[in-house]
Amino acid sequence: MPEKKQRPLSPHASIYRPPAAMMTSIMHRISACAMSFIGAPMLVWWLWSLAEGPRTYEQFTGFASSWLGTFILFGLSWCFFQHLASGIRHLIMDIGAGFELKTAQRGALATFAISAVLTVAFWTVLTLK
């Protein structure tokens, strides 16, 4: 009986580090889904509560100002800024810039940094009023 060849093992999940560009692409899709399936219904609920009257609007603002509502709105704002930063990165790449490996990696990581800074700045401005 012939001996079986030793095949190389795939990188194990514990040592594999996903590239920044891959994580940016995944987060771009996740943020779009979150804004579509959570953000759009929240927007419709807000608009409906405005049209329905003060009592319904108070119910919406009661939920929106609760810890769960604030958590959801904070997450949605981060999704918006992440999607925006990633879209701008893609726009830059569409014009032919940013394809060098180091530049692409820095651009991908920059989307996360920009979205975090913009989210914190947005909520800081909101809480100042």
CATH number of the domain within which 80 lies: 1.20.1300.10
High-pLDDT (> 70) share of the chain, %: 91
* 6 part of a folded domain: no
State residue 66's pLDDT score. Answer: 97
Domain range for 38 is 21-128
State residue 44's pLDDT score. Answer: 98
Measured CA to CA, the distance from residue 58 to residue 64 in angstroms comes to 10
Domain count, the chain: 1
pLDDT at residue 11 greater than cutoff 90:
no
Average pLDDT of the chain, as a whole number? 93
* 15 part of a folded domain: no
* 109 part of a folded domain: yes
The mean pLDDT of 40-68, rounded to a whole number, is: 97
pLDDT at residue 29 greater than cutoff 70:
yes
pLDDT at residue 10 greater than cutoff 80:
no
* 11 part of a folded domain: no
* 13 part of a folded domain: no
**What is the identity of the amino acid at 90?**
H
Cα→Cα distances 70→27, 76, 93, Å? 21, 10, 34
pLDDT at residue 129 greater than cutoff 80:
no
Cα→Cα distances 97→71, 73, 105, Å? 36, 34, 13
State residue 23's pLDDT score. Answer: 95
Measured CA to CA, the distance from residue 91 to residue 85 in angstroms comes to 10
State residue 4's pLDDT score. Answer: 75
List, for residues 66-104, the tens digit of each pLDDT value: 999 999 999 999 999 999 999 999 999 999 999 999 999
State residue 94's pLDDT score. Answer: 95
The two structure tokens encoding residue 76: 């949605």
Using DSSP's 3-state secondary structure scheme, residue 52 falls into helix
